[in-house]
Amino acid sequence: MPEALVVVDVQRDFCPGGTLAVPGGDAIVPAVNRLLASAHLAVLTQDWHPADHMSFHTAHRGAVPFDTIATDHGAQTLWPVHCVGGTPGADFHPLLATHHAALVLRKGLRRDVDSYSAFLENDRATTTGLDGYLRARGIDAVAVVGLALDVCVSRTALDAAALGYRVRIVESACRAIDRAGSLATARAALAAAGVVLEH
């Protein structure tokens, strides 16, 4: 059965110069483009937040970026304002070969819940529709790349594994934020879930 490539959030705000820049985020674009050119089916995800999204530190009086708050669906990291829908920061990196994609999936549109995964929002109940889209096309394996490895990439891969897909992450086409050991924590969770980490 064929494999889908899921390219996570390769957007201006996650690249150097952006409001939530992942170190070296733009350096992955050539590797991602090579994978896009040879993919059987490619999906691009795109953070697309309202300006007052609950994950932004500016939505909480006295909060600063990377604070953590409690929500009805668990702990939530507060981020700098990023990827507001319709702004340049939400655009894909200008060199990303978006023409190879069969689907662009926007996430994080609901003000009151964040969306790290391409499959499930952070309330862990609301689906994005990606699982049904892939199943309808006979996909049983997923390769995940993009930004950031320790947040949206890992969450997407973990959810794909839980849904029964064979999952691999191509690390050369990813970069991580890696705050407070987040990358090591993500690696451990991915290994435990049977996700293959390839260079």
Residues marked as catalytic: 9, 107, 152
Q: For residues 129 and 132, what is the distance between their CA atoms, to the nearest angstrom?
A: 6
Per DSSP, the chain holds a count of helices (H) and strands (E) of 4, 8
Three-class secondary structure of residue 188 per DSSP: helix
What is the rounded distance in angstroms from the CA atom of residue 199 to the CA atom of residue 193? Answer: 18
* CA 151 remoteness from chain centre: 7
What single-letter amino acid sits at 7? V
Residue type, 161: A
